[in-house]
Amino acid sequence: MTADVTDNGMRRVGRKAAGHPWFHTMSRAGLVARGLLYLLIGWLALQVAFGHGGKEADRKGALEAVADKPGGIVVLYLMTAGFFALALWQFSEALYGRPVPDGDKPTKRLGSALRGVIYTVGFGGMLAYALGHGGQSSDQQSKTFTARAMGEPGGRWLVLAVAAGFLIWGGVVVVNAVRRAFLDELKTAEMGRTAHRVVQPLGMIGNAARGLIGAAVGVFLGYAAITFQPGRAQGLDGTLREFAATPAGAWGLAVVAAGLLVFGLYSFAEARYREVDPT
């Protein structure tokens, strides 16, 4: 009985903290940080498409672009804090439920928990970079993971499972973009007519591009596992560059890069209209 009372009391305290204005501010600041990161990656990918790319079009390249500018270290730490806030927000949704239809279902909570892990990894990588530990590019990380995993018993199946996870996630994101399911997460009642007309296509195009890239990462991981060639695995930068090798050429990469830029803008819209209160 005492344990139940204590647990309920802790949950009430947690819910109260998650509903506090500071929590709202941190969550929305995190969405702004995510938007800035995608804008930078999209811009770097555009430079690659038109032959002016000197940096990787991934998180490391984006952080390098920020750090190279005057006052960049301050922006870098603010972005790092934003990703920490994103992780806290997602873990709170995993504990208390998401503010969407059926947001209390275990599958919804699990999705939030996984996103919390992803944002935690992002936060760790950004903090390490800010502290002077450059780390590997996304391509190097992907190849290293694949080689090490395939060197262990059953590692090939692990890589295939991760590849399947990327493929499924990417497919779901694309389908939800087409279905406009992302609108369930927004305060659409607070949008004016103009805002609604702008945010909806941003969400559809941006999420579709993100899902397409995620699925492509899964394809390369799967191919590396099937052919026993860890070097064929690609991270974000390598995957984006592969779009330039399609019949569409540089314009194929440019279109995908534009999609990332659009998702960055959509993240800014989310910072204004996203529901951030756990249920």
Domain ranges (residues) in the chain: 2-273
What's residue 105's pLDDT?
84
Q: Between 140 and 273, whose confidence is greater?
A: 273
What's residue 40's pLDDT?
92
- Spatial CB neighbours of 63, under 8 Å, sequence gap ≥ 6: 76, 79, 126, 129, 130
What's residue 137's pLDDT?
77
pLDDT cut 70: percent of the chain above it: 90
- CB-CB contact of 65 with 44 (8 Å): yes
Question: Over 80: is that where the pLDDT of 118 sits?
Answer: yes
What's residue 102's pLDDT?
78
What's residue 38's pLDDT?
94
**In whole angstroms, what separates CA 61 from the centre of its chain?**
16
What's residue 53's pLDDT?
63
pLDDT cut 90: percent of the chain above it: 41
Cross-strand pairs, 274: 186
Res. 54 pLDDT band, cuts 50 70 90: low
Question: Over 80: is that where the pLDDT of 103 sits?
Answer: no
What's residue 270's pLDDT?
94
What's residue 127's pLDDT?
92
Write down the mean pLDDT value for the chain: 85
Residue 100: both structure tokens together: 């969407």
Query: By CB neighbour count within 10 A (0-12 exposed, 13-18 middle, 19+ buried), where does 204 fall?
Result: buried
Stretch 188-211: mean pLDDT: 93
pTM of the model: 0.85
Stretch 15-34: mean pLDDT: 74
What's residue 263's pLDDT?
96
Stretch 20-33: mean pLDDT: 81
Cα–Cα distance for residue pair 234/240, rounded to 1 Å? 9
Stretch 176-194: mean pLDDT: 91
Res. 273 pLDDT band, cuts 50 70 90: very high
Q: Between 178 and 71, whose confidence is greater?
A: 178
Cα–Cα distance for residue pair 194/247, rounded to 1 Å? 37
Q: Between 7 and 74, whose confidence is greater?
A: 74
What's residue 20's pLDDT?
59
Stretch 15-42: mean pLDDT: 79
* Radius of gyration of the chain, Cα coordinates, nearest whole angstrom: 20
Number of helices followed by number of strands (H, E) in the chain: 10, 0
Cα–Cα distance for residue pair 168/165, rounded to 1 Å? 5
- CB-CB contact of 233 with 143 (8 Å): yes
Three-state DSSP at 90 gives helix
What's residue 22's pLDDT?
66
Question: Over 90: is that where the pLDDT of 202 sits?
Answer: yes
Question: Over 50: is that where the pLDDT of 26 sits?
Answer: yes
